[in-house]
A and B are shown apart, each in its own frame.
Chain A
């Protein structure tokens, strides 16, 4: 068996007495898409924010490629090649696409000055691949549509050779055409051996895109199943009732 790309073991975090994530373990293999399902407040975003460095777990450990990883801030996560597409997209609305794509990792000239033209050129290249219709390179991203903003956020995650990609509700703000584009992108990235955590509350997305699904309820892990082995109703049952379907667990 190959070494998991990510192992999150026995992770717990509490906010003011509320156990947002309560002894949860999940893992992710190379080239695999794992869906994280659950109601709002089930703890899936919180769990993933621990992996992306936005929160620190109270207890539990994270292993990357089998080795214990210390992730205490987003910079650490980036060092482990973990990239995140947040549900809120986490874009600085007042900056243009290139500035957002390279935020925190700017290209600089030999004199240490930010090289906007070089960054724009790189942004044009990756956008030509991800979203060929994208033209608005010189305006603040606040002037972009939901789909265009999403493609900037995706470009940022993909550009820097992520090994582990976290997508938090990547299709929530998108139309059917753009949703299809995201689906194709996920297939492409899978083929490159990238592991993807896909957070969603849309069961159809998960059934279509994921290999396995982990379901959470009230901060606890209900169970992890192979998507092939279950039906939509099984997953729905796990989400609502918080019980693994008979025969799989």
Chain B
């Protein structure tokens, strides 16, 4: 051991390498900044207004949640074309649960506090079960994932159609609508508290990783670099909270809120939205999925199986069961996305989540997930979703025709993957 610790691994390393910065992350953030600045210029500052950033954020949540699951699916060399259809059936099940079954059959009163939680459970269970079934067909019956989920793509949306007789179902439960975005936010104070808490968690994570490396005599980044990274993380978290807090709740809505409590809106009173619950869900999903990917056996086996399925099998990993778990997780996340998406739209319509499968796959791929399997990151997929939503919403604001919008997004997808291939070739990174 002694002679190892005297051997600091590679003394002379480049600055970037010693900071251990992920160039792909830098590239994606750079692209996002560039897109934002360009649209901001084109819209005379409207694009980067708190209001638009707020809207952009809540529009991204549904696809971003599913994209994190798609990373695992693609890393294990599979694909899931059925996520949009799964979202639709979950949404249909939840709409029927809250608007018909619970009030009608079980006799729960409309507005009962039990409706929202039961509805969410129904959605999550539906998604998980269908996902697990997909995984079983792929893992144990050896039907290619492409076929299983292409079938699911055709089946589930239209199963939902039969469930609702093709009707759009609205209004939805008031508590349920809180998951949609603008209707349910933490408010300024709690947003700051949460922002500070998240900052502390980030600092703790950085600090404990460093402590563990030092305990084993491993090389660590220069302290200054570590502090700079920690500072950037905290600034990003608190800056984001500040922007969401700066988007004031409209006067008319405030008045209604006060009236609902039997009070009158005080003169000159104003309040910011703060962090929407839906974004909170996405943050939670991002953290949990990252922990699964990096710090659990499940995550390790997912990546090992993607890198070399035979080796994983020979190492005693049950790759079939693993496939079921990965697809079940994907289904669970589809159910979660369905909660957010249908609450945001305040209704269930049969076309909910149409084309989401392609957006989700594109987000994961733009985020650096390789279709060959074995590599991909959760934060990459979320950034990928954000980049795509930024493009779509920016072009909408600038007034680009919708056909051209699709053409641009398509071209960006191909371009992003091309860049990634060049990067891998040049740096040999996987």
Whether A185 is near chain B, meaning CB under 8 Å from some CB there, is no
The answer to whether B311 and A91 touch across the interface, beta carbons within 8 angstroms, is yes
How many B residues have CB within 8 A of the partner chain?
A: 37
Choice from A120, A140, A143 contacting B216 with Cβ under 8 Å:
A120
Evaluate contact between A117 and B304: CB separation under 8 angstroms. Answer: no
B194-225 near A? 1/0 per residue, CB < 8 Å: 00000000000000000011011010000000
Does chain A have a CB within 8 A of B314? yes
Query: What is the 8 Å Cβ interface bit string for chain B, positions 1-38, against chain A (1 contact, 0 not)?
Result: 10110010110000000000000000000000000000
Q: Please judge, given known A-B contacts A86-B314, A90-B314, whether A99 and B300 are in contact too, CB under 8 Å.
A: yes
Q: What are some 21 contacts across the A-B interface (CB < 8 A)?
A: A75-B316, A84-B314, A86-B314, A88-B310, A90-B308, A90-B310, A92-B311, A93-B308, A94-B303, A94-B307, A94-B308, A95-B304, A99-B300, A103-B315, A104-B315, A106-B300, A118-B216, A128-B1, A128-B3, A135-B9, A140-B430
B315 & A90 in contact (Cβ 8 Å cutoff): yes
Interface size counted on chain A using CB atoms at 8 A: 39
B313 within 8 A of A: yes
Contacts of B212 in A (CB 8 A): 117
Distance (Å) between the CB of B243 and the closest chain A CB? Answer: 33
Q: Decide if B49 is an interface residue (CB 8 Å cutoff).
A: no
Say if the beta carbon of A124 comes within 8 Å of chain B.
Answer: yes
Residue pair B297, A106 in contact (C-beta under 8 Å): yes
> Which residues from A are CB-within-8-Å of B374?
92-94
Smallest Cβ distance from A139 to chain B, in angstroms? 9
Answer yes or no: A113 CB below 8 A from chain B CBs. yes
| Shortest beta-carbon distance from A85 to chain B in Å | 11
Decide if B215 touches A137 in the complex (CB within 8 Å).
no
Measured CA separation A166–B375 after assembly (Å) = 31
Determine chain B's interface SS by DSSP, over half rule: helix
A162 CB to nearest chain B CB (Å): 14
B297→A124 contact, CB < 8 A: no
Within 8 A of B (CB), among A116-167: 117-118, 120-121, 124-125, 128, 135, 137-138, 140, 142-143
What residues make up the interface of A, taking CB atoms closer than 8 Å to B?
A: 52, 54, 73-75, 78, 84, 86, 88-95, 99-100, 103-106, 108, 112-114, 117-118, 120-121, 124-125, 128, 135, 137-138, 140, 142-143
Q: Which residues of B contact A103 (CB under 8 A)?
A: 300, 304, 311-312, 315, 317
Closest to B370 in A: A94
Which residues of chain B are near A84, meaning CB under 8 Å? 314
Given contacts A92-B307, A113-B295, A120 and B218 within 8 Å (CB-CB): yes
Could you say which residues of chain B place their CB within 8 Å of the CB of A138? 9
Report yes or no: A74 in contact with B218, Cβ–Cβ below 8 A.
no
B residues within 8 A CB of A137? 9
Q: Given the known A-B contacts A75-B316, A104-B317, are A117 and B9 also in contact in the complex, defined by CB atoms under 8 Å?
A: no
Would you list the 9 A-B pairs with minimal beta carbon distance, nearest first? A94-B307, A92-B307, A104-B315, A75-B316, A94-B374, A90-B311, A92-B304, A113-B295, A104-B316
User: Which of B3, B216, B291, B307 has the most chain A CB atoms closer than 10 A to its own CB?
Assistant: B307
Contact partner, A114, options B215, B295, B316, B317, Cβ 8 Å: B295
Minimal beta-carbon separation of A175 from chain B (angstroms): 23
- Is the beta-carbon distance between A93 and B216 smaller than 8 angstroms? no
Interface members, chain B 37-65 (any A CB < 8 Å): none
Q: Indicate if the CB atoms of A74 and B313 lie closer than 8 Å.
A: yes
Taking the nearest CB of chain B, how far is it from the CB of A194, in angstroms?
20
Q: Is B262 an interface residue (CB 8 A)?
A: no
Asked whether B306 is an interface residue with its Cβ less than 8 Å from the other chain, the reply is yes
Q: Which residues of B contact A113 (CB under 8 A)?
A: 291, 295-296
Cα–Cα, bound, A103→B305 (Å): 10
Task: State in angstroms the CA–CA spacing of A112 and B297 once bound together.
Answer: 9
* Proximity bits, B378-413, A CB within 8 Å = 1, else 0: 000000000000000000000000000000000000
Q: Say whether B252 faces chain A, with CB atoms less than 8 Å apart.
A: no
